[in-house]
Amino acid sequence: MTETSTAATSPATSTATSRTASSGAHGTSPQPPALRFVDVSMVFPDGTHALSETTFDVRPGEFVTVVGPSGCGKSTLLRIASGLNDATTGSVEVDRSSLGYVFQDATLLQWRTVQRNVELLAELEGVPRRERARRAGDAIDLVGLRGAERQYPKQLSGGMKMRASLARSLVLEPSVFLFDEPFGAVDEITRERLNDEVISLFQRKGFAGLFITHSITEAVFLSTRVLVMSARPGHIVGDYRVPFDYPRAPELRFEPAFAELCGEVSHALRGAHS
């Protein structure tokens, strides 16, 4: 079921519609987008204009990354997509029953083991004990945490915490995955490894991805498309298709075509800051 959240200024504040209801709007693809923002803007109650009218969609099989200056409204965009915030204007279409969300910090519960943290969302959804244990086991394998199931968050490194957070969302088998700067706090080599894992998950699970980062290399390496946002109030000022096939080898980062695309994104981002 696709949920269309429309801004409070519109007559329909939250309408459930069928996924097919929006198909064909773009004319070129028979499949409707997995996630669509239409003229989404955000002014917080204190008057902060975080986001100006933003329109884009993420199609099934796409991995879209957003880069932009700090404070330009990237997290706000994800919070609106997830339903944590209501937009001031515009609408979001997404199937919220099938949404994964990885935050900047891993937000694990300190008193639960890795296994029980990974089971958490399935538990909240009422998935029976044996089934959620099985799904959590599969997710733990997928993110490479086998052997750490009985450890508590304080016993984990930053990278392991992010893996546990990823696994927790994977248990619900989301069709759309939102990532808000998940790897900002880990060292570069760990980040590269986690990037490889995200790509491998993207290929195996086939979710549509919307990823936020400050790293241009990470953006280009992971994505099928990179969007550049302006300074606050943010809006899209650049849209780059990334032409490299998956799976992507770590050495891709050193190829001239890769560097050239990073340069273009960097140039747009410098413009966005000014």
Ligand X SMILES: Nc1ncnc2c1ncn2[C@@H]1O[C@H](COP(=O)(O)OP(=O)(O)OP(=O)(O)O)[C@@H](O)[C@H]1O
CA nearest neighbour of 19 among 35, 6, 8, 7: 35
Question: Looking at residue 244, what DSSP letter applies?
Answer: P
Q: Show the site string, 99-118: x = touches ligand X by CB under 6 A, - = not.
A: --------------------
Helix, strand counts (H, E) of the chain: 7, 11
Find which of ligand X, Mg ion, none residue 163 binds, CB within 5 to 8 Å per kind: none
The single residue among 8, 17, 25, 44 that binds ligand X, judged by CB under 6 A, is: 44
Q: How far is the CB of 123 from Mg ion (least distance, A)?
A: 28
Q: Under rule CB under 5 A, how many of the chain's residues touch Mg ion?
A: 1
Q: Which does 50 bind (CB under 5 to 8 A by kind): ligand X, Mg ion, none?
A: ligand X
State yes or no: residue 75 binds Mg ion (CB under 5 A): yes
Nearer Cβ to Mg ion (77/148): 77
Using CB under 6 A, which of the segments 68-76, 121-129, 138-146, 187-195 binds ligand X? Answer: 68-76
Least Cβ distance, residue 156 to Mg ion (angstroms): 23
| CA separation, residue 86 to residues 10, 90, 228, 230 (Å) | 12, 10, 23, 21
Of 185, 197, 209, 168, residue with least CA distance to 78: 209
With tokens 């070129």, the residue in question is 28
Question: CB of residue 77 vs Mg ion: minimum separation in angstroms?
Answer: 9
CB-nearer residue toward Mg ion: 73 or 90: 73
Contact segment (CB under 5 A) with Mg ion among 69-77, 111-119, 215-223, 232-240 equals: 69-77
Q: Where are the alpha helices (DSSP H) in the chain?
A: 74-82, 114-124, 129-142, 158-170, 188-205, 216-222, 256-273
Which one among 14, 15, 22, 75 touches ligand X, defined by CB under 6 A? 75
The reply on whether position 65 binds ligand X by CB under 6 A is no
> Please, which residues bridge with residue 58 across strands?
35
Q: Judged by CB, which is closer to ligand X: 70, or 110? A: 70
Among 7, 38, 40, 50, binds ligand X (CB under 6 A): 50
- Residue 24: both structure tokens together: 């064909």
Query: Is 85 among the residues that bind Mg ion (CB under 5 A)?
Result: no
- Contact set for ligand X, span 206-245 (CB under 6 A): 232
Read off the DSSP letter of residue 250.
G
- For residue 182, which phi and psi values (nearest 5 degrees)? -70, -25
All residues at 6 or more sequence positions from 269 whose CB lies less than 8 Å from its CB, including other chains = 67, 68, 69, 216, 228, 238
In whole angstroms, how close is the CB of 25 to Mg ion at the nearest point? 29
What is the side-by-side order of every strand in the sheet holding 35-43? 14-17, 2-6, 89-94, 35-43, 49-58
Contact positions vs Mg ion (CB under 5 A): 75
Site of interaction with ligand X (CB under 6 A): 44, 46, 48, 50, 68, 70-76, 232
